[in-house]
Amino acid sequence: MATVEHSDGTLAAAPDDGMRRRDFINIAAVSFAGVGAVATLYPLINQMNPSADVLALASIEVDVSQIQPGQAIKTIFRKQPLFVRHLTPAEIQAANAVPTGDLRDPQTLAERTQPGKAEWLVTMGVCTHLGCVPLGAAEGENRGAYGGYFCPCHGSHYDTAGRIRKGPAPKNLEVPDYKFASDTVITVGEVA
C-alpha cells in the first residue's frame, strides 16, 4: 500500500478527513479480498475430511449371539479391527482380582464394560504402542502371559480386561463407544 500513499501524496493539500476516507477504501477493498480468500479455503480444506459415505459406516451392528464364553471374534469397525470377547466367569474374576494401583493405566473391568454386561469385552484390536493388531482373538492364538491379548510386534501383554500389563504399550486397549441394541446385538460407534 506504500505506493498508493505515495501516489496520493501529491494530494497533501486535500482535507485530512478526505485522506483518511480514501485510505479506508483501499484498506477495505484489500481486506474484503483477504476475507474472500480465507472463505474460499474452507471448501478446499474441508473436502479432505471423511465424506458422507465414510461417515455412514461410522457405526455398525455386531451380532454377538454366536460367541461362546471364552471365545472372541474379530470384526471391522471404521476400517480397523474390533475384538468382541465373551469372558468366562474365571476370566472376569481374574480381571477383578488385580489391584488397580498396580496397573500402568488403572481401570477396573467394570469401567471397561457396560453395566450388567461385564462378560462382554469390546475393544479395538489396535495395540496402543505402535498400532499393530494383537493376537488372542482367534482360536489357538497366543493370548500372552495374562490370558488376554498379546501383541507380537514388540511384546505387549494385555490381560482379560484388555489392560496393558507388560511390554512397551502405554495404555489399555481402547474401548470404543458402543451400546446394546438388544441382548445379542451391539451397536458400535454410538454412546450407550
Residue 154 falls in the annotated catalytic set: yes
Whichever of 14 and 90 has its CB closer to another protein, that residue is 14
| Position 57 contacts another protein (CB under 8 A) | yes
Residue choice 38, 44, 97, 191 for contact with another protein (CB under 8 A):
44
DSSP codes, 40-63: HHHHHHHTTSPPHHHHHTSSEEEE
| Position 181 contacts another protein (CB under 8 A) | no
Query: Nearest distance from residue 133's CB to another protein, in Å?
Result: 20
Q: Where are the alpha helices (DSSP H) in 68-158?
A: 89-97
Give residues with Cβ within 8 angstroms of 149, minimum separation 6.
83, 125, 134, 135, 136, 137, 143, 157, 158, 162, 173
| Position 12 contacts another protein (CB under 8 A) | no
Give residues with Cβ within 8 angstroms of 161, minimum separation 6.
95, 107, 108, 109, 112, 121, 148, 172
Asked if 74 contacts 137 with a C-beta cutoff of 8 angstroms, the reply is yes
Binding mask 58-87 for another protein (x = CB under 8 A): ---x--------------------------
Whichever of 3 and 65 has its CB closer to another protein, that residue is 3
Judged by the rule CB under 8 A, the positions of this chain that interact with another protein are 1-4, 6-11, 14-15, 17-18, 21-22, 25-26, 28-30, 32-33, 35-36, 39, 42-44, 46-49, 51-54, 56-57, 61
The residues assigned a catalytic role are 154
